[in-house]
Chain A
Amino acid sequence: MSNLLPLTLKVNGEEKTFLASPHASLLRVLRDNYYWDVKCGCEEGDCGTCTVLLDGKAVKSCITLAHNCAGHEVWTDKGLGYNDEITRMIQDAFVECGSIQCGFCTPGMIVAAKHYIDHGGIADRKEIRKAISGNLCRCTGYNKIVDAIYKVAVELGREVR
Chain B
Amino acid sequence: MTTRILATEFDYLKPATLEEALKILAEKENVRILAGGTDVIVKMKVAGMTCDYLMDIKGIDALDYAKLDDKGVFHIGALAKLSHLEKDPVIAERYPALKEAFHLMASISVRNMATMAGNFCNASPVADSVVPSICYNAVLTLASVRGERTVPVEKFFLAPGVTVMEKDEMLVDIALPQPEANSGDAFIKKTRVRPDIAKISVGARVIRDGEKACFCRIAMGAIAATPAYLEETSALFVGKKVTPELIAEVAAHASASIRPIDDNRTTAEYRVAIAEVLTKDALTEAWRNAGGEL
Interface: A23 (CB within 8 A): yes
Instruction: State which size class the interface on A falls in.
Output: 35 or more
Q: Is the CB of B11 within 8 A of A40?
A: no
Chain B contact residues: helix, strand, loop or mixed: loop
Q: Is the CB of A65 within 8 A of B41?
A: yes
Q: Is the CB of B110 within 8 A of A60?
A: yes
Complex interface: chain B residues within 8 A of A24 (CB): 5-6
A residues 48-73 with Cβ under 8 Å of B?
48, 51, 54, 57-60, 62-65, 67-68
Bound CA span A116–B109, Å: 11
Q: Is the CB of A22 within 8 A of B54?
A: yes
Chain A contact residues: helix, strand, loop or mixed: mixed
Interface: A133 (CB within 8 A): yes
Interface: A134 (CB within 8 A): yes
Bound CA span A133–B106, Å: 8
Bound CA span A116–B38, Å: 21
B275: shortest Cβ distance to chain A, in Å?
26
Q: Is the CB of A65 within 8 A of B1?
A: no
Q: A40-B2, A133-B194, A133-B195 are in contact. Are A65 and B56 (CB under 8 A)?
A: yes
Interface: A15 (CB within 8 A): no
Interface: B146 (CB within 8 A): no
Interface: A45 (CB within 8 A): yes
B50: shortest Cβ distance to chain A, in Å?
11
Q: Which of A1, A31, A63 contacts B2 (CB 8 A)?
A: A31
B residues 46-70 with Cβ under 8 Å of A?
46, 54, 56, 58
Mark interface residues in A95-121 (1 if CB within 8 Å of B CB, else 0).
Answer: 000000000000000001001100000
Q: Is the CB of B108 within 8 A of A23?
A: no
Q: Which of A40, A57, A63, A135 contacts B38 (CB 8 A)?
A: A63
Complex interface: chain A residues within 8 A of B41 (CB): 25, 45, 62-65
Mark interface residues in A140-154 (1 if CB within 8 Å of B CB, else 0).
Answer: 000000000000000
Bound CA span A65–B14, Å: 12
Q: Is the CB of B107 within 8 A of A59?
A: no
Q: Which of A31, A43, A51, A131 contacts B45 (CB 8 A)?
A: A43
Complex interface: chain A residues within 8 A of B4 (CB): 43
A residues 6-34 with Cβ under 8 Å of B?
22-25, 27-28, 31-32
Complex interface: chain A residues within 8 A of B2 (CB): 31, 40
Complex interface: chain A residues within 8 A of B110 (CB): 45, 60, 63, 134
Q: Which of B3, B5, B58 has the most CB of A within 10 A?
A: B3
6 nearest A-B residue pairs (beta carbon): A134-B107, A22-B12, A23-B6, A28-B3, A63-B41, A58-B109
14 more A-B contacts (CB under 8 A) besides A2-B9, A23-B9, A40-B3?
A22-B10, A22-B12, A43-B4, A58-B108, A59-B112, A60-B113, A62-B3, A64-B41, A65-B56, A112-B108, A115-B108, A133-B195, A134-B107, A135-B107
Task: Spell out A's residues near B (CB within 8 Å).
Answer: 1-2, 22-25, 27-28, 31-32, 40, 43-45, 48, 51, 54, 57-60, 62-65, 67-68, 112, 115-116, 129-131, 133-135
Task: Spell out B's residues near A (CB within 8 Å).
Answer: 1-6, 8-12, 14, 34, 37-38, 41-42, 45-46, 54, 56, 58, 83, 106-110, 112-113, 194-195
